[in-house]
Structure 1
Amino acid sequence: MIAARVLLPLVLCWSGLFAIQANAQSIYYRYPGPDGSVVIDSSVPPNAVPRGYDIIRLDGTVVKTVAPKMSDEERKAHELEFGVEEARAAADEKTRKWDESLLLRYSNVQDIDVAKKRAINDIKVRISILKSNLSIIKQQVYSNQGEAAELERRGLAVPSELVDTLASLRREITTTEQHITSRQEELEEVANNYERDKRRFADLQGQVDLRRNYYAKPKK
């Protein structure tokens, strides 16, 4: 009885070892041969690895698949295709967020017209202020230039402070003119963006109306 108790764990242990060995031996590799045939073996030769292979069990079930190594041309084509898909997905996501924003901000096309008018008026006010500032600066330049000219007619040297002031005012004129140009470009861009929003919102409204009409029809 004691011997049986001692032998039973040993038998179970040996059985487990045999099962592990059997499982290890039941893994095979299936890969294409150089002539296109299918080879099943206990290992994959190094020259066959680039062609790809499957790790399979004895019953044929696939444990893992290792894809064939791509050529440079195939890799470039794959990267290009992946890049196109990625760009398409990014564009779709951008459109989705745009649609959500439009539907959250506006109830109808008239709301977009109101927002457009408000934004354009705000930019026009800024342009008007810049033009007013530009006119004041130019008047200062004309005044200082007249003062400098009068000193030169009298044979007197123009003070360096006056020369520096004129140079600073001219730089300010250039900067202000650039700001005016930027605001005018912004005005056109904002107007175009609102018109684009109107067209997209109208499309979305059309889609909603189509669905509403479809589900409102009595089903035969």
Structure 2
Amino acid sequence: MSGLVVVSAGLSVPSSTRLLADRLAAATAGHAPAGTEVRVVELRDLAVDIAHHLTSGFPGRTLAAALDAVTRADGLIVVTPVFSASYSGLFKSFFDVLDKDALAGKPVLIAATGGTARHSLVLDHALRPLFSYLRAVVVPTGVYAASEDWGAEGLPERIERAAGELAALMGGFAGRRSDTGSRGDRAGEVPAARADGFTVVPFAEQLAALRPAASR
């Protein structure tokens, strides 16, 4: 599977976390190529399977399918409610059972919901470090929605800006994956230019170019 996968850690029904996830997904799909597949993973439905996986080391069929969808996605939207000034335990547990290399290089849009604007720093103090550790490419704009943000100015603009950034990165990620499959990622080949005139150069190649010749 490829396309866009949305991970929502809301617990209630209806959930402001799921509402934000849906708005982010719709906005991203609006910026992405027509036909982009969108799948939502509701963690509340996987709570028991996640707990069993943590204790047994084996995922159930439903959890395995969700983990596979996240691994294969071209882009990811992750949304968590704020609990005790951080992401929820259920949210963290899902990414604890995900393969450590599953998000390497994958574009991720981080978002959170809370009762007060005082928790907005959760994006930069908890979510961004987590996904940087997992080697994901986190989009510059994170989206936090406090209770007072719904229906107020500012939130729709943040959603659109973050969605546009994610869609742009997804296009590059899907292109790199397709190019790697066709070229076998052979050393020495010149990366192909994208339609917008830019050339995507893997970070490892950029780093190698900066090293002194004697150390290569």
Q: Normalised by the size of structure 2, how large is the TM-score? A: 0.22
Higher helix share: 1
Larger radius of gyration: 1
